[in-house]
Amino acid sequence: MADNVTYDVESFYKGLVEHGLIVPVRVLGAFGRGAVFEDVLERFNGLVTQLSKNDGAEVYTFPPVIDRTIIEKTDYLDSFPNLAGTVFSFFGKDREAKALSAKVHAGEPWGDTQGITDVCLNPAACYPVYPCIAGTLPQNGRTITMTNWVYRHEPSPEPTRMQSFRVREFVRAGTPDMVVEWRDQWLQRGLELLTSLGLPAKSDVAADPFFGRAGKILADGQKAQKLKFEVLVPVISVEKPTAVCSFNYHQEHFGHVFGIRTADDQVAHTACLGFGLERVTMALFKTHGFDPKTWPAPVRSKLWP
């Protein structure tokens, strides 16, 4: 990392835009991505694939919308009601359509013409997979990887805090030993991969942003039990580095909710880890500059071998 890197939200956002890396839109946290940004993102995702190529992970892709009952059953709406996005649509006939149209053209609010659908936006890359692995796992458990779009309702001018972003996710389901050992292995792998790209990455115990007054107690418990780790890189601040990779050990939570059992007929434990692909990409631009052609040779040769 160059010694003269300075940190502020505004100039970083402006730099991303001026170099065509992101394309601003009217709403916060939903900008377009340019070709160079996408190339870096895909190259990084390719390195993660390479790292995991001997793990026997099953590969899936899930759409950005998922079965709404998943967030109902998993207490997501208790912990993060403010971040959840639910999909509403119009269920009326001709007459109601006319009323909707009139409101839209008059510039009036029209939310009351909409009703809740069976889908919500995917709040965490791993969520759609748990119902799909219900039942008894094979002897060695299962490992699954996905690159999914994730939604969080937190509009922000801060470019690393997006409403919509991609996560390269891995999920492990099996016995507690399997799951914890796997998580620890990936914590090491993640740190090594990011460091090898010249990023000043550090890991730390972390907590989710649980909602409301009770949230602090939940966060403290999560920290005390070391259920969540993050790998952090300074992107918009040195004091508050950005989490680019997150590791969650759910213990029996999802196994219990979705009926996932180990080969020995115990409730399966699960853990997941995800690389925030846009955040890693931004960390690379922040650390090495807005033009990949000028990045250090070892970083370039890793991404574009």
Please name the amino acid found at residue 39: D
Q: Choose which of 9, 38, 43, 184 interacts with a copy of itself (CB under 8 A).
A: 38
**Piece of the chain touching a copy of itself by CB under 8 A; list 17-25, 191-199, 261-269, 296-304:** 17-25
Q: For residue 128, which of 30, 61, 197, 199 has the smallest C-alpha distance? A: 61
89 lies in the site for a copy of itself, by CB under 8 A: yes
Site string for a copy of itself, 197-236 (x = CB under 8 A): --------------xxx-----------------------
Measured in whole angstroms, the distance separating CA 25 from the mean position of its chain's CA atoms is: 21
| Closest CB 142 distance from a copy of itself, rounded Å | 13
Judge residue 67's burial from the number of C-beta atoms within 10 Å of its C-beta, 0-12 exposed, 13-18 middle, 19 or more buried: middle
Q: Token pair of 67, please?
A: 């079965």
Work out whether strand 269-276 and strand 164-174 pair parallel, antiparallel, or are unpaired: antiparallel
Cα separation, 276 vs 161, whole angstroms: 11
* Contact (CB, 8 A) for 33 and 41: yes
Q: For residue 96, which of 115, 82, 80 has the smallest C-alpha distance? A: 115
| Closest CB 89 distance from a copy of itself, rounded Å | 4
Distances 278 to 177, 227, 271 between C-alpha atoms, Å: 32, 24, 22
| Closest CB 93 distance from a copy of itself, rounded Å | 7
Rounded to 5 degrees, what angle do the CA atoms 166, 127, 156 make? 45
Q: Which is nearer to a copy of itself, 41 or 232 (CB)?
A: 41
**Piece of the chain touching a copy of itself by CB under 8 A; list 162-170, 183-191, 228-236, 296-304:** 162-170
Q: Choose which of 155, 157, 221, 298 interacts with a copy of itself (CB under 8 A).
A: 155
Q: Which is nearer to a copy of itself, 151 or 182 (CB)?
A: 151
List residues binding a copy of itself (CB under 8 A). 23-27, 30, 32-35, 38, 58-69, 72, 77-78, 81-94, 97, 100-101, 104, 109-111, 113-119, 121, 128-129, 131-132, 149, 151, 153, 155, 162-165, 211-213
